[in-house]
A and B are shown apart, each in its own frame.
Chain A
Amino acid sequence: MGRPIAGSLGPVQGLSLAPARPLSPVRRRAPGASVNVVDVGRRFEGATGPVDAIAHVHLSVAPGEFCVIVGPSGCGKTTLLRIVAGLEAATSGRVDVSGDAGRPRNAMVFQGRSVFPWLTVRQNVGYGLKLRGVPRRERERRADALLATVGLARFARSYPHQLSEGMRQRVAIARALAVDPDLLLMDEPFGALDEQTRLLLQEELLRIWENTGTTVLFVTHSIDEAMVLADRIVVMGAQPGTVKAVLPVPFSRPRALTDVRSDAAFAPLFAQIWGMLREEVLASRADIRQVRA
């Protein structure tokens, strides 16, 4: 079931999908964190007065769950993730993240550019470990193991500018995984990638997640991507950003991308999510028209 579908795609940019390869070196001892978002709001001071990026957001994510957020552009997905990550304070409500070791540890894969240009690929992946005081040899061992899982073993000594966009994104993912987070926050990690690389990385991520049991909160624009990856899909609406619906995804685990897409439940679920998003996008368009008039 969970076997990679290398045959139909072929290797892309050095990412080999040989099924016999050992899986992720990250093996968890305990289930991931649980996330509880209670009535959270975030207000920004905009040019034309205060703007509520998100308001009254409720969301709970179970330990080890793969939760995907979809929503129109500007509905506050990044804002919500940053608040959960503790990078930004909510203006109302509260967020609880419980990990296994008292102090919850999350790692975020950011939207857009985030791999340090001044560090080699190996140093980038080991960065979080370095901040935690992990000795250098151990850091490099872990970094190299993770680079092998994301198919970048040959590029350990390269600098990011020598890699393609897709390869850099894999570095960012490996860097987040390196600290063995209880909670993995991913903000459109595959947004800037070509279709083939995207498919391969989705598969890679599922495999890693299935092996680590970490909780994942994943943001995407792509309905298809959400359905392939998620246990549950959170559909957000805009102005202000709120949770419109939470939909369970019925496909069994472990998943193969092709099986999911040919499942009878795929098309109806797609239509249901698109229906909700369509309303949202049209509503925000109408808003823009009103502003212009």
Chain B
Amino acid sequence: MTPASRRLVEIVLTIAAPLLLIASWEALSRSGTIDRRLWPPPSTLWGTTVELLRDGSLLTDVRVSLGRILVGFVLGAVPAIMFGLAMGLFWPVRAFLMPIATVIYAIPKIAIAPLVLIVFGTGETSKYVVVGLSIFFLVLLNTMAGVLAIDRSYRDVARNFGAGPLDLFLSVALPGALPSIFTGLRLGLGFALVVIVGTEFIDADQGIGRFIYQSYSILAINKMFVGLLVTGLMGWLLNAAIGVLERLVIPWKVAG
């Protein structure tokens, strides 16, 4: 098979899968093989989407949730990278922080949401904190692992040229750990979406999680499906954004 024809088959297969899924869903739902009330035909979802887009509420919910994720992301990731670098570079810092970090890392962050809501109240702050927490420990440990994986010779080169601790930090540890940091950020964004939707289930007057939960409580199945679809799109968008950022920040990363 030539590369060109292989590419063509690849594209056809890629498009075929969702089309096939939607088509059979549509057919099964229309014929009544599956319960129409639980599995409304995809064609009717289109109308619901247009309706929701027109009154603007859905977009507001998306914007609110994305805003919470972004603010929480920055709040969590920036200190995580700083502490992670320190833990990777200096063994006493590592010894001091490692036990706490590994234990809290192991707690599913959604389980902390109720506590955070009590401590920080039901406003926006608690949402930022929950997202920040879910990202912090992932990025922290990935950053540390990234620094530890940097070949010793790079540090030696820097020291040989007279690098001080700050130079080591900025010119070796940070760039050397970047690929690993981005692994943490990518995973963290995925978790952030999970956690924000969950938190909005518990308590929120806006957000995509609240949208889905509200649809559930009034049994608006169509709206629920639209909410799920939109959440999926948000996840895809976030992933694409971090991919773009990664290519900007790590132009030297070997492709593949």
In contact, A118 and B176 (Cβ under 8 angstroms): yes
Main secondary structure of the interface of A (DSSP, over half): loop
Q: Is B156 an interface residue (CB 8 A)?
A: yes
In contact, B175 and A116 (Cβ under 8 angstroms): yes
Instruction: Given A117-B252, A118-B178, A118-B252, verify A131-B161 contact (CB < 8 Å).
Output: yes
Contacts of B163 in A (CB 8 A): 131
Within 8 A of A (CB), among B138-177: 151, 153-154, 156-163, 167, 171-172, 175-176
In contact, A127 and B171 (Cβ under 8 angstroms): yes
Q: Is A266 an interface residue (CB 8 A)?
A: no
Q: Is A85 an interface residue (CB 8 A)?
A: yes
Closest CB-CB distance, A229 to chain B, in whole Å? 21
Contact with A132, one of B156, B160, B162, B172 (Cβ below 8 angstroms): B162
Within 8 A of B (CB), among A148-176: 159-161
Main secondary structure of the interface of B (DSSP, over half): helix
Q: Is B251 an interface residue (CB 8 A)?
A: yes
Q: Is B254 an interface residue (CB 8 A)?
A: yes
Rounded to whole angstroms, the CA-CA distance of A202 and B252 in the bound complex is 30
The residue of chain B having its C-beta at the shortest distance from the C-beta of A158 within the complex is: B252
Contacts of A85 in B (CB 8 A): 160
Closest CB-CB distance, A175 to chain B, in whole Å? 8
Contacts of B156 in A (CB 8 A): 82, 87, 108, 110, 114
Q: Is A226 an interface residue (CB 8 A)?
A: no
Rounded to whole angstroms, the CA-CA distance of A114 and B158 in the bound complex is 10
Rounded to whole angstroms, the CA-CA distance of A120 and B251 in the bound complex is 10
Contacts of A108 in B (CB 8 A): 156-157, 160
Contact with B251, one of A87, A112, A159 (Cβ below 8 angstroms): A159
Residue from B161, B252, B254 whose CB has the most chain A CB atoms within 10 Å: B161
The residue of chain A having its C-beta at the shortest distance from the C-beta of B159 within the complex is: A87
Contact with B151, one of A106, A113, A131, A159 (Cβ below 8 angstroms): A113
The residue of chain A having its C-beta at the shortest distance from the C-beta of B151 within the complex is: A113
Q: Interface residues of A, CB < 8 Å — how many?
A: 23
Closest CB-CB distance, B14 to chain A, in whole Å? 30
Contact with A87, one of B160, B178, B252 (Cβ below 8 angstroms): B160
Contacts of A159 in B (CB 8 A): 251-252
Residue from B162, B172, B175 whose CB has the most chain A CB atoms within 10 Å: B162
Contacts of B153 in A (CB 8 A): 110, 112-114
Rounded to whole angstroms, the CA-CA distance of A128 and B176 in the bound complex is 17
The residue of chain B having its C-beta at the shortest distance from the C-beta of A107 within the complex is: B160
Contacts of A128 in B (CB 8 A): 161-162
In contact, B159 and A118 (Cβ under 8 angstroms): no
In contact, B154 and A116 (Cβ under 8 angstroms): yes
Rounded to whole angstroms, the CA-CA distance of A50 and B151 in the bound complex is 25
Rounded to whole angstroms, the CA-CA distance of A87 and B162 in the bound complex is 10
Annotate A71-114 by CB proximity to B: 1 below 8 A, 0 otherwise.
00000000000100101000000000000000000111010111
Known: A116-B175, A118-B252, A128-B161. 18 other contacts (CB 8 A): A82-B156, A87-B160, A106-B160, A107-B160, A108-B156, A108-B157, A110-B157, A113-B153, A116-B172, A117-B252, A118-B250, A120-B252, A127-B157, A128-B162, A131-B162, A131-B167, A132-B162, A159-B251
Counting from the closest, the 10 A-B pairs by CB-CB distance are A118-B175, A128-B161, A159-B252, A114-B153, A108-B160, A131-B161, A161-B254, A118-B252, A110-B153, A114-B157
A-B contact pairs, 21 of them (CB 8 A): A82-B156, A87-B160, A107-B160, A108-B156, A108-B157, A110-B153, A110-B157, A112-B153, A113-B153, A114-B154, A116-B172, A118-B178, A118-B250, A118-B252, A119-B175, A119-B252, A127-B157, A128-B161, A131-B162, A132-B162, A179-B161
